[in-house]
Amino acid sequence: MTDQSSSAPALPTCPRHPDRVALVSCQRCGRPTCPECQRPAPVGIQCVDCVNEGAKTVRTAGGIFGGTVTRGNPVVTYTLIGICAVVWLIQKAVPTFTSDIWFAPVQFGSQPWRTMTAAFAHSEGSIFHIVFNMYALWICGQYLEPLLGRVRFAALYLISAFGGSVGYMLLASTPRTLQEAPTSGWFTPTVGASGAVFGLFLALVVLNRHLGRDYSQIIVLIVINAVLGFVVGGIAWQAHLGGAITGGVCAGIYTALKKRPPVQWAALAGVVVVLIALAVWRYQTADVPSFILHAYNF
């Protein structure tokens, strides 16, 4: 009588759990897989090892201009609006806070950080200043942030804000007498996100033109606001121009280097370096009499 138990084929076992019988095979590697190691696949199942290996090779979906595709709410846009709103409330509550963060070109040498902080402050005397800027940011952000990705959109906004301050500095008038100083651009402080918003405006034009989409309404909006900057007092049109040019350049970088995302960042860094160099040059070459600077403790 023969021993049939010794001649029966051995049942397959799971490589990860050798003590368990595995009658189902992975569709990818063909190895037997126990129920604990099985993962649903489009066809059949895959083992956990193959699923983990496949996850390493899956690339994050890329946007048209090299950024990561984002879904849902424009988080960066809402965050920027929230920061500006909180800053404005602090301005209302603390009378000296506005002067602590506004930017006048004469302050660049000792407090260059004001070129950025001023972009998050607004006139505390009128709610319309912040409302208009935040509404424009909300409109542009809902379109640009998903198109560019959150990080690239944030870079566009912040670099445009810096470009707005540099533009104001480059075009600011310098006083020749002590009487001229209070009304000269060199000593006149500015606040507001308008420079950054104008950067978004021109970026919309550049990106939509590249995509073959209509941008006529944005052109009309830019023209209207540009005209207002010259006919309405108290508007820093120089910051609008600086922000718009900077935003247009950044958008041009996104379009020209859309297939080379890492190079985009090097190019954006180059834009920042150029802006810093222009600001330093303007500050060092500004022809402001020393007696005026001494009178204002500079």
* CATH code of the domain containing 131: 1.20.1540.10
Query: 3-state secondary structure string, the chain?
Result: CCCHHHHCCCCCECCCCCCCECCEECCCCCCEECHHHEEECCCCEEEHHHHHHHHHHCCCCECCCCCECCCCCCHHHHHHHHHHHHHHHHHHHCCCHHHHHCECHHHCCCCCCHHHHHHHCCCCCCHHHHHHHHHHHHHHHHHHHHHHCHHHHHHHHHHHHHHHHHHHHHHCCCCCCCCCHHHCCCCCCECCCHHHHHHHHHHHHHHHHHHCCCCHHHHHHHHHHHHHHHHCCCCCHHHHHHHHHHHHHHHHHHHHCCCCHHHHHHHHHHHHHHHHHHHHHHHHHCCCCHHHHHHCCC
Residue 30 within any structural domain of the chain: yes
Looking at the fold, whether 162 and 267 belong to one and the same domain comes out as yes
Say whether both 106 and 254 belong to one domain. Answer: yes
Domain hosting residue 41, numbered range: 10-57
pLDDT at 46: 82
In this predicted structure, the answer to whether residue 60 has a pLDDT above a threshold of 60 is no
Has residue 215 got a pLDDT over 90?
no
Both 95 and 200 in one domain: the answer is yes
Q: What average pLDDT does the segment 209-230 reach? A: 82
Query: Measured between alpha carbons, how far is 234 from 244 in angstroms, rounded to an integer?
Result: 19
- Indicate if 20 and 130 belong to the same structural domain: no
pLDDT for position 69: 65
Residue 106 has pLDDT above 50, yes or no: yes
Q: Which residues contact 234 (CB under 8 A, 6 or more apart)?
A: none
Q: Note whether 118 and 169 are same-domain residues.
A: yes
Domain count, the chain: 2
Give percent above pLDDT 90 in the chain. 55
* ∠ Cα 138 139 142 (to 5°): 80
pLDDT tens column, 24-40:
888 788 888 888 888 77
pLDDT of 103: 96
pTM of structure: 0.77
Do residues 93 and 210 both lie within one domain?
Answer: yes
Same domain for 34 and 156, yes or no, is no
